[in-house]
Structures are given as C-alpha cells and as structure tokens.
Structure 1
Amino acid sequence: MPYFISSYKKSIDVFKAKVEESIYHKIAPLNIHAWVTEEPVDFKEKTMGKYISLNVGESWGKLWDCAWFNFTGTVPKAAAHKKVVLLIDISGEICIFDEDGCPNQGLTNVSSEFDLTLGKPGKRVVNFLEKACGGENIDLWADGGCNDLFGNYKDSGKIKEAHIALLKDEMRKLYYDIEVLQELMEQLPEDSSRHQSILFTLFHAFKVMKNYDKEEAKKAREILSAELNKNCGDESLSISAIGHAHIDLAWLWPIRETIRKGARTFSTVLSNMDRYPEYIFGASQPQLYAWIKERYPKLYRKIKVRIAEGRWEAQGGMWVEPDTNISGGEALIRQVLYGKMFFKKEFDKEMKTLWLPDVFGYTASLPQILKKSGLDYFMTIKLSWNEYNQFPHHTFMWEGIDGSKVLVHMPPEGTYNSSASPKAIKEAERNFKDKGVSQECLMLFGIGDGGGGPGEEHLERLEREKHLNGLVPVKQEPSLEFFKRIEKNMANYKTWSGELYLEKHQGTYTTQAKNKCFNRKMEFALRELEYVSVLAQIEGLRSYPQAEIETIWKEVLLYQFHDILPGSSIKRVYDESLERYEYLLKHTEKLIEDTYRALLEDCYCTNQVTPDFLLASKITPKTKAAGIINSLSWDREEWLMINGEWAKVKVPAMNHRVIQSSTLESTSFGVTAEDHCIENNLLKVSFNEDGSLKSVFDKEFQREALDTNFKANVLTPYEETYGNAWDFSPTCHDIPQDKFKLEYSESMVRGPKAIVKQIYTYHLSTIEQEIILTEGSRRIDFKTKVDWKESNRMLRTSFPVNVFTHEVSCDIQFGSIKRPTHDNTSWDMAKYEICAHKYVDLSQADYGVALLNDCKYGHRVKGNTINLNLLRSTDTPGAEADKGTHEFIYSLYPHGGDCIEGQVIQASYELNLPLRVVEFTGEFYFDRKKEALVRVDNESIMIETIKKAEHSDDIIIRLYECNGGTERVKLNFDHRVKDVQLVNLMEEPTDRSLFSRGNNELEFKPFEIITLKINCS
C-alpha cells in the first residue's frame, strides 16, 4: 500500500507555520514616545529633537531621519511566572541602550530588503524578563534610524510593532528542530532512507500537536530528538563556522550611519554570546573599532573582554577593507601598517590574515605586501561572482608579481551571509573544488550590512548541526585556527599566478571620477609631505608631524574603502567625501609648501656674507628666488614658468635647485604651431578637420606612431545600458555611437609649448582641450576640462597605434603586469576592461606607444587600440554620478624600444609629480648645496617612500625594482647617515643580511620591495 508522501510534506509545512505562530503571544501594547532629529544625537542629548507620541501604524520620520525612542509600559499580572519579551519593529534600524548609555542590542525591521534565500533579516525580539512577577515597569530607550539595512525607506516609516509578549520557549525550540530536520530532508535524495526516516518522524511529531501548548511541544521534541541525535559517521570534510557581520563603512548609507550600524551589530553579538556559550564571532576593520571606542566606550570595553576570552576574533590586517585595484601601493602598505598597529595596541593581537570578502578584484602586488607585513593568509569570497569563468579553486596558493606566495581560502558557499542551515552546509560541500586535497573549509554566517550579524536562528541551527547525520560536521571556531591547520597541507595546493581579476564590476575603475582624482592627488601629496618633513627633521628645523600625518593618512585610507573609492555608494557619501578631500588636499599642500620654504630659507638666506661675495656671485640682496624641488629618484630637466619667465631647469635626483629672477636667461623655443599641426624637435602632430589626431610622426625614429587607418583621440560618449556604478555592457564598443562635435580650434605657441586649443560639444556637455607638445619632450599632453551633463553615458577616448604586440604592459602598485590584447579564450575575453594606474603601454622590441594619465584607471586595450575610460554618469546607487566639471590630463607617449627602454614608468611619474616650484624671499642668497639623503645608481630602482619610522626617530626608505629584472644598486647616502638596517613593511628587522657600509650595494629580485631603516646623527 503506497504512502501519501506529498500530503505528509504539506502537513509538515502547516506544522512548522503553526508552531512559529505560537512562539509569541502579545499581551499589551507599549507606549511610544520619540524625539526626532535629522542627524544622530548622543544618549545624553536624547530629548533634544522634535517630540512626538506614536501608536502602532503611525509614521515617525522620512528617510535617514533619526530618533530617540522611549518605550514604556507595565507587565500585566497575567504574565506572572512566565518569560516576557518585547516585540519592536519601527520600519527601520534601532539600538536598545541601557541606563548608562551603552548599546545593548540592535533590532532590524522585518520588511528590510535582503536575499531571503539566506534567511529573514528581521530582528524584533528583546528578551526582557526570564520569569516575570507581573507589574514590572518598562522604561526602554532606543536610538532609531528610518532606513532598512540597505538604506531603503520601508512602509512609510510606520511603527509596525511595539508590544509586550509572552515567549513560549519550548515552542521556539520545537520550531528550530522542525526547521533543521525539514531542510536537511529536502537536501537528501527522496528515495534515501534518511530522507524517509526524517519525513515520517516529522509527521509523527505533527500528530501530537492539538492545542499547541507547552506539553505537546515537549512530546513533539522528544519524538524529533531521535533524528536530531543521529550522529554523522567518518566524514572526509568538516566545516569551520564563524559568525560574521559584513559592514560596509559606506555604501547605500552615509558614513555616519555606519557608526550606528556598528553599535547595533556589536551589541547584538555580545547579547547573543551571553545566550550561546559556543558562539564565536569575528570582525575586521580597525576603523570601525576606533569609531566604537570613541562613540561607545562602554561597549568597546565589553568587546575587549570577549576578544581576550577568545570568543571574539579580531580579523584582517588592514585599517579598512579597501579597494585593491585603485588604491596606491604605499596606501595598501599603510592599510596594513595602521591596521596591525591598532590590533596589537588595543587587543595585543598579532594579525596573520588579510580579510577582504567583498573587494572587486585583487592586485598582483598584494602577495608581496602581505608576506612582507607578516600576513600569511588571505580570505575572500568575491571571485565566486565571476560572470564568464568559474574560478578553479577555493583553497590555493596565490603568487604575486615578485614570486611571493600566500595561502588563500574562499568559503565555497560563495557568501559571507550564510544562513548556517542544512542547505548552506550541503552547498558548501557540493561547491568545494579542493575537497580532494583539503578536508576543511570555512563558513561565514550572519546577516551583514548592519543586520546585527548572526541571529538566534543561526546559532540554534548550529547547535543542532554539529554532528547531525546527513551533514558534514560543523564547529564554531576562530578562522585563524582553521588557517593554521590547512597550512600544514600547503604542498598539495595548486598555485594561481598573477592578479585575481574579478569578471564583474569593471565600471568601478571609472565611476565617481572626482573621488578617484582626489585619491591620486592625496597619495602623491602625502608622499611629498613625508619626504619634506623628514628633511626638515634632519636639519633640526621642524619636528616631524607624525600624529597629523597619521590622521590624514587614516582619513584617506577610509575613503579607499571598497564601496567609496570604486564609486559604488550613494550621492551623499561623495558629497561628504569630496568636501573632506578638498580640505585635506589644501591642508596637505600648505604643510608641504611651508616646510619646503622653511628649508630653502634656512639653506639660502643669511646675513653673514660680504659685498665682495655678492658681487662675485651676481646675486642681489632682497630679491625673490624660487626653489625647484625634485623628490623623484632620477635627475630631471623640465620647462617651468618661474616668476613669469620660462626656464629649462635641471634638478638632481631627490634634491632641489634655487633660481633667482635676475639669473634667468632668455632663450629660443624650438616649437611651432600651425592650423592642424604642432611640432617640436622630436614629434610632429597632425589633426583632422574634426579635431581628432591624424598623425604623430616620430622624427627621431622616422616612423608613424599612430595607425593612420583610424582617427585617434575621438571623444566618444557611450550609452550605459546597465545604468549602475558597477557594470557596463561589454558590447557597447560594437554599437555605433555619436561623437563630440568640434566647435572651435586655435593653434598657438606659449613659450616652449606648441598648443592646439579645441572646444567640443555634445548635447548639453562641453569639452575644452589643450593638446600640448613641449620642446624636447616626447609627451603629447591632453589637458582636459569637461563640463559633463549627460545621464547614463560613459565618456571615452581611444588611440589606435602603429604597434604590433599580443600584450599590453599595465602599471600597478610596485610594478607592472602584462595582459592579453586578444580574445583567444574566455578568460581573455572577460578582461574587456582592465585597471591600470599611471600608464598602459603597447610595445614591440624596437618601438612603442604608451598612454599616461594623472587620475584615470579604466582602460580597454584590444588589438592595437588603447581606449581610456574618462567619466561614467550613472544614477545607481549614486544619483548624478560624475555630472559637473572635471579637469585631468592624459598623455600620449611614443618612445623607442620597449616599455623599459622607453622609460615609460619614469614619464608617468613625472606627469603625476611635476617639479615643484616654491618661491621665497630673504636678505641674501648664496648656494649651499645639499647632498641628497639617498641616491641610487640604477633607474630600475624607484625610491617610493621616505618617512619617519613609526616608533623611533629613524628614517624609513622604501624602494622597489620597477622593471621586472634582477638588479644590483649602489646607494649613496648623505654623510649624516650612520647606520642602515633592513626591515619589513611593518618596520621590523629582518633576517636578511644587508650590504656592508663599505660598498652600499643591494640586490633586488624582480619587482621586489625593500625597506631600509636609517639612523642619522
């Protein structure tokens, strides 16, 4: 006789739903009082807003409004001897505070948007009394935000729930018993004995439920215990689970809301730790901890206790979870430096793992940075988002451009918001690509984006799943313990070499161009500030402003967070960050200028000279002078405008030169400008009638640099069919597009510069360009000003070049990588947009052409065409992205030989860091030449950073090999350098022996970063 299997399963659905409905019984409403403000206020000022009294169903605010709520009431006498909870849902996020103003627990509206396949986001239950007497007063304060997890305005901001309720704890436990067993059953083959056994046991338990009271729930749980207590056998895979709450420091909400999201989440974690003794939680990002320490010191002290106990894992080695495509190399080092310093100082924890679950691809420079910072492990998830090719591993070794390797694990479930359910466990087991060589994987469970992390549902499931037959075993533990175990099997893991390219979100290389521009300017400004501050310290003129520099760096690092710098946040985030960037850059530049001026005046101004000296030196008293500063590690010669006159100035490496107006000599300039043509001694640039480039003839090498079958520098707006900050269609290049129309063109000579000025229009937008060719230079600069008013458009320019090669050289942090220019494979095709920093270069053995830039990152290089992404005006999530005025420079750079012989990297640095002119005035001037603090005799070695050491008055010098070769270099130090020590990126001594002071030689491996600590007298 057959069984009614489908009917049994429907009955079990009814069973679970009715049990869930029976868990809470509302017995009285709460009184609701609120004080509403537009921005958050502290606990001590909670009644300063607009007062309103509310009932359930009434709206309390608009999107992003804040309010302090006071929930009051009296526990009814009928609740005596029973467990009492409060049910609260304000259609937003809210945090319960204790009487001392410390966050106690976060709540999230049930209607919050979330991927429901990962669970329900709502947290609405406040545990109030374990055993009530009846008559107790309720007086609860809570800080609320009128937004859901993802910054949405839900249910018109109405109060959905505010009640006193009874909790039927046995019914609650029964619900999780049913849920786990039912979902396990659904993951097993229908004809398996385990599936059938669970089905009939669940149906048997259902049959005892009539009144849905406590006694029936106990009987049903006893029946189900037979299935829940069936332990798994000898499994070849185990899962390490750790609680997680991915919190974007800004995204669909402003930074100010992130701080409150942190308080809600962290207080919820601590509350659940009191209830679940096996619960292990982890959180990264010292910036978030620092905010909590500042704003919620009592909560922070509680966190420190749990960290000391080992229940809370401080994770990751970076200040924030940053973008790694666009952030500069030194910035990535500072992320680690400040991140590790914080965790060591605050929690006495030595970080070993980089924790970046949600970043949009990973630069091939990262493995070396990690290894030389003491970070041996790396955890991410994002590569599971690839659109065209499935990444082949979950546990593997990652090799960077210098050969450094780190151990990587990607949780195979492919999410950092795991539901910790049987389905999640089964999915991890099915997906794990390396289970043949590794017997362990990670699971990150909890609700992120301010959703409080793991809820009771996650922890209840895990209690039942530890050794449940039908599932691989799951245990909660810190991720570091997991990595230490799998490290022992490293010899068996495969190696992935080069970048970890994410086949998605390539639009983030360009979106929100002003933020990216400010980021580039700030990275170079901080480099300059640290360099000049070291010089001033050595001269005894000024103390090194270490605290101020660290503060500036940390704010810049915050804006490199992976949803700020890539351009994927809401408009308010950029309105606020641009205002701060503008201030930071202005302030940093003033510090640089003032410090250089103090140095120059100290070196060149004195009253202790004779009139004979002045006469012999042709130097006049009380006149202006200009100091020309070169902070790069090679000698430079450039045309500069000094005191209104042009001068061709040669400045030694890492040094300066002083020029007086009276000593400037007039000279002729070997450039010409005619209609449709500009020319210098090296290049002749011709233009088409529509303003595009027709030809770039290289007079030195007697060859054409452009592919003259096509026009170059055609300014093209592409329609954005996706319309979001992250992605654009790869087929847009196949669709005919309108072009900007040339409205005005003028040729002129301005000193040593031949210029064509052009004005273009398109719809409501205007582009002004000066195409500049300077005497003696191979750079053709496109100085560009765009008034961009388009919607859902992307602005690009392109240069078809007369070069044949299958690879493009791309500038990345501390080196370069080569990428294919063809679409031979699906992996090649997927790289339809690539990220590069200061240049990309197409070269044959004998000749090449590079495209340099001063603030752009998105490129497309296919065949012989270099295409640069300039702007993207999307409306999601940041409305009116890139609308407004932009100024930037990109430069075409034809050269002899390949990228190395053509010195492309040097040219790209010089575009981004032009010689600095500092004017100053004193009584008299005379030449007191200073030796550079350090010089190198090999142009393949870049001096990237000179700064004060973090924990001493020693000086840090960071160098790297830029061309991918093994190189020896001799370093020439200022005579005041007394001792040199090799250190790692954390400024700790290394075991590697340093060169002797006798010959000062050092050997670099390809793309190697070497850091020195020097002591000056």
Structure 2
Amino acid sequence: MTQPKDDSTPAAPLTIHLVGHAHIDPVWLWDWREGVETVRATVRSALDRLTENPDMVFAHSSAAQYAWLERFPDLLAEVRAAVARGQWEPVGGWWVEPDANLPHGESFARQALYGQRTLERLVGRRATVGFLPDSFGHPATLPQLLALSGLTSFVFMRPSANELELPQNLFRWVGPDGTSLPCVRIEAYSSNPQHVQSSLERNLRWHPPGARHWLGLYGVGNHGGGPTKRAIANLRALHADPAWPALTMDSFEHFFDLVRQEEVQPGGVLPVYTGELQHHARGCYAAVSEIKWLNREAERRLIAAERMAVLAGQVGHAYPQAALTRAWERVLFNQFHDVLAGSSITRAYDAARAQLGEALAVADEAEFFAMQAIAARIDTRRGGADVDEVIRSVRWDGPTWVSDYGDGVPVVVFNPGARPWKELAEVEVNDWHTDDLTVTDDTGQEVAYQRLDPESVSGGRPRVAFLADIPAGGYRLYRISAEPSAPVVDAGLSVTEYASGTITLENALLRVEISARSGALSRVVDRARDLELLAGPGGAVQVVYDGSDTWGHGMTSLRGLVGVFGGAELRVVERGPLRATVRVTTRWGASRSVQDYTLEAHSAEVRGRLVLDWQEPHHAAQLSFPLALGGVKATFEVPYGHVERPADGQEEPVGRWLDVSGVVRNARGRAYPAGAALLSDSKASASVLGGDLRLTLARSPIYAHHDPARPDPERDHDHIDQGRLETRWVLCPHGGDWRAAGIPERAEHVGLPLPLTREYVHAGDLPPRHSLLRLDGLDGATVTAVKRAEDGDALIIRVHEWAGRGAEGMLYWGGAAVPVGVRAHQILSLRVEADGRVQAVNFLEEPLGGAP
C-alpha cells in the first residue's frame, strides 16, 4: 500500500469520515422514466450493502425520489427501517437538487416545505444537511434559505477550486442577513470503485491544514449506482493500513456535529466567507429559453393563484390545497439543475413542457374560480338599481349569437399585491357593434379608455384598455357600457412620424425616439431633468459568436460581436390616448426580429415585446442597452435578494431584474445620479460592461453537448433555441438608485397582467371596492407570498426586506392590524391564525427556534 500524497501534514490525527452516496440525476441524458428505473435499482443495491455492512451509512437527497418510492411500498419500508436504525441519512431536504441561481426565492421556500414534509412522512425524519453537489453556482442569499429550510450545514462541489478561491474547503458561510452555517466543498460527489485509493488521495489534499476531521464521499454516481462491494472492501483495506489516516463510516450530520464541537475549541474557529459561490457553467443561464419562461411563468402564476384563493376564502371559497401542492411539485421537480439550466436532452423537455403545462392549468383555474367567487358576492348594480333580466337581448349576428348582459358589463379588476397598484387593464367583451362605449369606475366616474384590436380576425368584439387603480390586496369594480362617452381628455401622449422615417413617442415624463436606420431606440430622454440616458442604440438585437458547449465551459463572456439586426421596417401599430406602440422588423442572417416599443401616457417606463425567429446555430442573440452613465454599479436580482457585481462584461445569472446606476450629465455638463433597470419576464443571463447592459436572449449550442465530446459531422444535431422565441421587457429609467425607484416591487408585476373577470349585474353583500391585505410603511419590503398554512386554517404571509436597511410598519389582513419589523435582507414568514394570533415561522411553517 502506498503512502497517501498529503502535501499538508496535519497538526493532529486526522479522521476521514466516509459517507456512502449515489448521485442520481433524475433527468439529464435520459428522461424521468429512466430516472425512476435508476432510483429503484440504486436503492435496492444500497439497502443490500447496508445489510452487509452494519457500520455503513448511505446518504440520499431529493424528496421527489422518495415520493417515487411510495409506488413501491416494500422498498420504501426497507428505507424507513434503515433510517430508523441510523444507516440511511436523508439529506438536502428539498424536493430536488435545484439550480440555485434561476428560481424565484419563493421556490426555495416550497422546495423546503414540500421536501421536508415528504421526508418526514415517508421515512420518519427530515434532513439537517443542505446538499447541492452538482448545482452550478450558489447565490449569497443561500445561507438564509438553507437555515429557514431547517438545514444547519451545507455540502457543495461547484464551483471547484480552479473556479473560485476559498479560504479553505471547510468554512463558515455568512449571508447578507447575518445567517451563517458551516460548509464543505467536496472534491467529488462520486468515485470509481476500482480506484478508491487515488480518489481518497485527491480528496485528502483538499482537507484544511490542521483539521482533525475531513469528509469523503464514495459510490458510483450520475446514473446512480452507489457503493459497491469492491469499493467497500478497498476502503476497509486502506483503513487497516497504518500509513493512512483513520477511515470511518459515518454520516454527514455526525461529521458536522464534530466540526461544531471543534469550533468552540481553541484555534478551531472556521474562516468566514461572505458573498456568492460562483461560477461554473455560465452558459446554462441562457440555454433553452422555453424552460426558463415556463418555470418563471409557473412560479408567478402559482404565487398569484394562492393569493387570490386566500382572498376568496373570505367569502367561503374552498382553498384548493391539494391541487396547488401537486402543481408546485411539478414546478419544483423541473427546477432540477440539469432541467432548468438547459443542459438535458431534447426529449427531457417534452416531459417538462407537459408537467409545467399541468401546473399552469392548475394555477389558471385556481385563480379564476377564486375571482369568480368574489365577483359573485359583489353588488354590481349601477347605483343599486335592479335590472329586469340578466340577459336583456339575444340576436344572431353573423357567425355567432350576441348577448347583452343588461346595464353594461361589470368588470372586476384585482390586485393580489399588498400595496395599491395602477396599471392598464385590458378586457374584451361580447359584440355590441357600436363605436359608442363608456368605461366607468365604482363611483360612476368615467375612465379614459383606448380601443384595441380584437383578438379574433372576425372582429366585432370590443377590446379596450383603461387605467385601473386598484387598492392593495383587493379589487375594484369597473363597468363597460354601450353608451356615448365624454370627449377624451388629452393625457399628453403623442406620436410623431418624421419624413426620415424616425418615430418619436412622448409623454410628460419621457421622450423616446426610434431610429428609422437601426430600428433601435436612438434616444430616451428624462424630460424632467433633460437627461439623455442612452449612449448608443438601445434595444438593438446583436449577434455574437458562441462556439462553447451547452454548459458554456470555458466561456466567461459573450461579447464577440459579429453583427446587428438591421434593415429596419417601422410602423405605428397603436396610437391612442393611453398607449402608443411602434413595431420594428429587422433581420440578420436567416433570422427575423419583430419588436414592439411601447410608451404609456402615465408611465416613466419603456416596454418591449420581442418576437425572435432565431435560426443561427453556435451563435447567441442579445438585447443591448448602452447607457450614458459613469461610475456605474451593476446590481442583479438573486433568489430573495440582490448582489452587486463588477461591470466587467462577464456573463452572469440574473433574476427578474438588473440595474445599472451611476451618474449622467446633461447638456451643460451637470452630473445627476441616475440609472436604469431592465426587467424581463423570462431571460436569466446578462452582462454589464461599463454602462453597456446586455440581456442574452438565446444561445444555440447542440442539446446536452459536453466538452470534450466532439459532435459527429455526419449527424443532424438538434440545436437549442431554434425557431420562435418571445420575451417581454421593461426599461425603467430612474433618478437616484434602484431602491428609491422600488424596482423589486415593480418586478413582482412583470409578466402578470392585472387579473380580472367579467360579471353580470346582480345584488351582493360585498362593496364595489375593497382591500383585504395591505402593507403600510415597511418601505423596502414586499409581501412575496400569501397562502393557506399546510396544517390548520391559518395563513402564511411572507415579507421580504430587499433594500438592506430594515423597516417597520403595519400589516393589515381583514380586520386585524399587525405591527411588523424586518431586519435588513430578512425573509420574514408570519403565521396568522384565524383568531388573530401571529407568530414568526420558518419555511416549514413552524415557529422559529425549532420544530414544536
């Protein structure tokens, strides 16, 4: 037996704690069906090895995989017995091992809620060790997310030592809110049973100098497998060799118990690390656009549906708990890192599309029937006057029957957020064949509206947009009537078409110019301060060469510009008192872009809708906004938080928004603090170089191509993101920084049109305008989730402090008023009982300080 190659001689005897493990990707180069097959076979093998080796411990993550075992009760019973005798350790505590950069922060709360409850129900205990060995990077906010999940330590592998330098591979990670926990960066999550010694030698070089305890994993992984007889025999042989440190079969939990014991000893304090654990595989965050959109759409729709169902509970509507739980489980499963990151095979996304479609259907029904339940109780009569009949007239008109509900169409517009919100609402009503329409609010006052194109080419059905002003956590009744309206008051929105082909949109706040030559924004002017915010064409679709693999291994930036979409064709497609839109068509290579630039009368935002027909393998498309800013700070949203990153042009993962703030000078040279945030409904990869902000729209390597594999030139390979891609974005110029502009609050509404339902005229016991949930004060904090508690009839209301300053204020729910204080960066979950009692809880909906 050779002497282990240990370059750092420990000051005290070293024990290596060996944990059996089988890394299983439920989806990757295979679909979920093969994942189930792999889990069954691996679990059977692991149980057999445990029986043969009473001192062995096997650790396994991912509650979703335990839920699969529920279909095989005999196998699950054996796992539960192994857990009870201490040989099987549930780890991770989450539904899967998700990508840690892309999901909404609320998704991590649900990973924990449904993951830990499932583990406890199926095998009798929860996890205490966070476990993401194969995820590609980790946000600085993760310590708080782990701790609120009931996890007290963390094991990871990526980024590796050549990607991120750490003080050592055993350290204490401190999040922005002050939460800290011990963490280990492991050398590998699997091992070759024929080369156990060389694996241990590599691992030994990772242990911190002077440490008395170190961690090692053994077992075949990726497609499962786990510890083999040969591997265990080789480990026992090494254990008997006096040249080696002591080797002991152990659990993660016991290893971290020893680490915490060492921390209180003289010289045992772990080095502290703050910040992100990045980067590995930067290219993933722009791979497979569809899965990014489906995930984000499902997240926001489920969160909105839960809120609406809670509001409807006030009128006796049954909360659809089981359906929403099932939908969340579908979403959480597809946040598995190789699915959401875009690194799986084509066939894997067929299943993901179906599963996330199921979640969206559940959310759609839950939200709509909750709105209907509330609307059915609202007194929708005009001035309380009854109508003779609900359906006043029916007539045949061309291709369809036309009905008049009598006294106009009541439209109930909802705001599930906890602060008042004002936005254009769009609604289409049945055919009246009249140009005379009036929109009124709950007081009978006329509301300005704008006629829109109907969705059907058959025409006839009036479609209108009007500015809805909705109270917090409630609704407001509007009415559309077939009556002449008062003359439209000029709201100050203008469209000017110049002989050059350039078009200008202007309101009291912004002047937006679209260049006939480039088809991009040539000017965005802050009219109040006469500040030019762009340094070049904004919103241009740029093309860069990208020869990297699916993961983007070796790629740090996407800045190799090879072209810009051009040949612009401009036309005005909306010109009204409330909204104006210019549609621009451009082309590059075999690809075509159709982009709408929209300015609304009362808005200081530029909105975009981009439909891209992308046909360029091994290239990437980007939306570019060169901002006229100096001294910039680039801030990116991360799960339940934000992080400042260097404006160095490197590709970075991003949530719903990123911001570039600095100073801009006016024509007289005076400097003003200013910035701009870019919000997106689905894109998750971006870079900032100086003031140049780029949002990556698409990358097109071959599906699941991992270097150094070389694609067969004789084979037709499927390339990612070919075909129709759609994204919506919002450019939010602002003075000061993004906090003062309330960008995170604005991001809560991206991709979510105001929910509404049409109603008929009837009496009711609810008023035409009502607020049930609102925040007062608490500037810099947002209510991010409102749901029914898993146990009992309490509510869970989650508040996130995003400004980093701490805040105090009042939370109003129904008739209760609750004083609320949040620390800087805190995620505060409140359990509100039916009798008004309130207590702070963790993601598991249990009182902070431990489970009851």
Range class of TM-score, shorter chain? 0.7 to 0.9
The runs of 5 or more residues in structure 2 that have no matched partner are: 390-403, 429-462, 664-672, 706-717, 836-852
**Other-structure match for 1:703:** 531
**Other-structure match for 2:725:** 886
- 2:219 pairs, out of 421, 446, 463, with 446
- Quote how far apart the aligned CAs of 1:690 are: 1.7
The reply to whether residue 461 of structure 1 matches residue 300 of structure 2 is: no
| Aligned residue identity for 2:252 | S
Instruction: For 2:385 and 2:758, locate their aligned partners in 1 and report how far apart those are by CA, in whole Å.
Output: 24
* 3-state DSSP of counterpart to 2:295: helix
**Other-structure match for 2:34:** 257
- 1:816 pairs, out of 630, 642, 654, with 642
The reply to whether residue 529 of structure 1 matches residue 305 of structure 2 is: yes
The reply to whether residue 240 of structure 1 matches residue 17 of structure 2 is: yes
- 1:638 pairs, out of 423, 437, 443, with 423
* 3-state DSSP of counterpart to 1:249: coil
8 Å CA contact 1:935–1:973 kept in 2: the answer is no
**Other-structure match for 1:48:** none
Aligned positions of 1:308-457 closer than 5 A: 308-384=84-160, 386-387=162-163, 389-411=164-186, 413-417=187-191, 419=193, 421-432=196-207, 434-436=208-210, 438-457=211-230
Instruction: For 1:930 and 1:747, locate their aligned partners in 2 and report how far apart those are by CA, in whole Å.
Output: 38
Aligned positions of 1:481-500 closer than 5 A: 481-490=254-263, 492-500=269-277
* 3-state DSSP of counterpart to 2:688: strand
What whole-Å deviation, never above 9, does each CA across 1:510-536 have from its counterpart, x for those lacking one?
Answer: 101111101111111111111111122
What whole-Å deviation, never above 9, does each CA across 1:912-949 have from its counterpart, x for those lacking one?
Answer: 33322222223357844433234333331201111000
- Quote how far apart the aligned CAs of 1:427 are: 2.1
The reply to whether residue 910 of structure 1 matches residue 684 of structure 2 is: no
What whole-Å deviation, never above 9, does each CA across 1:198-227 have from its counterpart, x for those lacking one?
Answer: xxxxxxxxxxxxxxxxxxxxxxxxxxxxxx
- 1:931 pairs, out of 761, 764, 771, with 771
8 Å CA contact 1:696–1:706 kept in 2: the answer is yes
- Quote how far apart the aligned CAs of 1:328 are: 0.9
**Other-structure match for 2:340:** 565
- Quote how far apart the aligned CAs of 1:186 are: 8.1
Instruction: For 2:813 and 2:623, locate their aligned partners in 1 and report how far apart those are by CA, in whole Å.
Output: 44
Instruction: For 1:604 and 1:1015, locate their aligned partners in 2 and report how far apart those are by CA, in whole Å.
Output: 29
Aligned positions of 1:988-1003 closer than 5 A: 1000-1003=818-821
The reply to whether residue 274 of structure 1 matches residue 51 of structure 2 is: yes
8 Å CA contact 2:783–2:797 kept in 1: the answer is yes
* 3-state DSSP of counterpart to 1:697: strand
The reply to whether residue 780 of structure 1 matches residue 606 of structure 2 is: yes
**Other-structure match for 2:472:** 653
8 Å CA contact 2:542–2:561 kept in 1: the answer is no
User: How many residues in Structure 1 have an aligned counterpart in Structure 2?
Assistant: 749
Instruction: For 1:403 and 1:684, locate their aligned partners in 2 and report how far apart those are by CA, in whole Å.
Output: 43
**Other-structure match for 1:551:** 326
**Other-structure match for 1:945:** 785
* Structure 1 residues 947 and 759, CA gap change in structure 2 (3 angstroms): same
* Structure 1 residues 745 and 882, CA gap change in structure 2 (3 angstroms): same
The reply to whether residue 742 of structure 1 matches residue 564 of structure 2 is: no
Question: Normalising to structure 1: TM-score of the pair?
Answer: 0.70
* 3-state DSSP of counterpart to 2:372: helix
8 Å CA contact 2:11–2:209 kept in 1: the answer is no
* 3-state DSSP of counterpart to 2:522: strand
| Aligned residue identity for 2:640 | F
* Structure 1 residues 381 and 252, CA gap change in structure 2 (3 angstroms): same
* 3-state DSSP of counterpart to 2:202: helix
Q: Give the greater-gyration-radius structure (CA).
A: 1
**Other-structure match for 2:443:** none
- 1:539 pairs, out of 315, 322, 328, with 315
Aligned positions of 1:851-890 closer than 5 A: 851-877=678-704, 879-890=718-729
- 2:631 pairs, out of 805, 812, 819, with 805
**Other-structure match for 2:842:** none
- Quote how far apart the aligned CAs of 1:657 are: 0.8
The reply to whether residue 578 of structure 1 matches residue 417 of structure 2 is: no
* 3-state DSSP of counterpart to 1:1006: coil
| Aligned residue identity for 1:242 | V
* 3-state DSSP of counterpart to 1:882: coil
| Aligned residue identity for 1:417 | S
| Aligned residue identity for 1:974 | G
| Aligned residue identity for 1:658 | L
8 Å CA contact 2:99–2:135 kept in 1: the answer is yes
Instruction: For 1:233 and 1:288, locate their aligned partners in 2 and report how far apart those are by CA, in whole Å.
Output: 39
**Other-structure match for 2:840:** none
**Other-structure match for 1:474:** 247
Instruction: For 1:466 and 1:604, locate their aligned partners in 2 and report how far apart those are by CA, in whole Å.
Output: 79
- Quote how far apart the aligned CAs of 1:700 are: 1.4
* Structure 1 residues 911 and 691, CA gap change in structure 2 (3 angstroms): same
- Quote how far apart the aligned CAs of 1:684 are: 1.1
8 Å CA contact 1:238–1:440 kept in 2: the answer is yes
| Aligned residue identity for 2:181 | V
8 Å CA contact 2:79–2:123 kept in 1: the answer is no
- Quote how far apart the aligned CAs of 1:669 are: 4.1
| Aligned residue identity for 1:832 | Q
* 3-state DSSP of counterpart to 1:1013: strand
**Other-structure match for 2:828:** 1010
Question: Normalising to structure 2: TM-score of the pair?
Answer: 0.84
- Quote how far apart the aligned CAs of 1:446 are: 0.7
Instruction: For 2:750 and 2:554, locate their aligned partners in 1 and report how far apart those are by CA, in whole Å.
Output: 29
* Structure 1 residues 238 and 711, CA gap change in structure 2 (3 angstroms): same
- Quote how far apart the aligned CAs of 1:906 are: 2.5
What whole-Å deviation, never above 9, does each CA across 1:227-253 have from its counterpart, x for those lacking one?
Answer: xxxxx9995221000111000110010
8 Å CA contact 1:366–1:400 kept in 2: the answer is yes
**Other-structure match for 1:791:** 617
**Other-structure match for 1:718:** 544
Instruction: For 1:373 and 1:449, locate their aligned partners in 2 and report how far apart those are by CA, in whole Å.
Output: 25
Instruction: For 1:728 and 1:574, locate their aligned partners in 2 and report how far apart those are by CA, in whole Å.
Output: 25
What whole-Å deviation, never above 9, does each CA across 1:366-387 have from its counterpart, x for those lacking one?
Answer: 1112222321111111121644
Instruction: For 2:23 and 2:567, locate their aligned partners in 1 and report how far apart those are by CA, in whole Å.
Output: 49
8 Å CA contact 2:19–2:58 kept in 1: the answer is yes
- 1:956 pairs, out of 785, 788, 796, with 796
- Quote how far apart the aligned CAs of 1:731 are: 5.8
Over the matched positions of the two proteins, sequence identity in percent amounts to 26
Instruction: For 2:180 and 2:779, locate their aligned partners in 1 and report how far apart those are by CA, in whole Å.
Output: 27
Structure 1 segments of 4+ aligned residues over 6 angstroms from their partners:
none
| Aligned residue identity for 1:572 | R
* 3-state DSSP of counterpart to 1:921: coil
The runs of 5 or more residues in structure 1 that have no matched partner are: 1-180, 190-231, 823-830, 978-996
Instruction: For 1:612 and 1:303, locate their aligned partners in 2 and report how far apart those are by CA, in whole Å.
Output: 66
| Aligned residue identity for 2:172 | M
| Aligned residue identity for 1:584 | A
| Aligned residue identity for 1:323 | D
Instruction: For 2:278 and 2:4, locate their aligned partners in 1 and report how far apart those are by CA, in whole Å.
Output: 36
**Other-structure match for 1:668:** 490
